[in-house]
Amino acid sequence: MTEDNGNDALGTVRGDGTLIIERIVPGALERVWEYITDADKRATWLAGGEFDLRAGGEARLSFRLDELTGEPVPERYGTVQHHEHICRITRCEPPHVLAFTWPEGGGAESEVTFELEPLEDSVLLRLTHRRLPDRETEIDVASGWHAHLGLLADRLSARPPRGFWSAHAAAEARYEQIVPAR
């Protein structure tokens, strides 16, 4: 785990469909929780959309990837720059834990869990994404979360946001080297 200073460490991809990324992000626990659960704040680093914050509640993620940092969307991702996921909250323990399903296509679902642990003047954020179906998805999802969490750290630090797609591409090249074959 590292403090996110723009030179963030890679997460761990175990090769069994599980990704774990830990970051120390600045601010109070409640503020970090708001950036995960409030639609307007979340839209600045991931996706907007309302969450019904209870187990079984709907979580709507409305992605506008071309609007995150103004970088052009790479051609291979052009069809996903504006899309929406309808997820289901599986665990909600404010302000420490939020978990929800994530559609993988063909009716399959993975699961994303945010765990927040207060430190002195910062928060340990642990993101776990389980049940990723294959190595290609592990690399893409790891790179995406890596870039999104970098934007979250920028927003929490009041720094100008790094480029989402350039951060994604750099992380993808690094994850390609470390994600084990299945």
pLDDT band at 129 (very low <50, low <70, confident <90, very high): very high
- pLDDT tens digits, residue range 52-105? 999 999 999 999 988 888 888 888 876 666 789 999 999 999 999 999 999 987
Q: What is the pLDDT of residue 79?
A: 65
Residues above pLDDT 70, as percent of the chain: 94
Burial class (CB in 10 A: 0-12, 13-18, 19+), 133: middle
* Helix (H), strand (E) at residue 166: helix 164-178
Q: What is the pLDDT of residue 73?
A: 84
Burial class (CB in 10 A: 0-12, 13-18, 19+), 158: exposed
Q: What angle in degrees, to the nearest 10, is found between the helix axes of 135-157 and 29-37?
A: 130
Domains of the chain are 2-178 (3.30.530.20)
Mean predicted lDDT score pLDDT of the chain:
92
Identify the three-state secondary structure at position 60.
strand
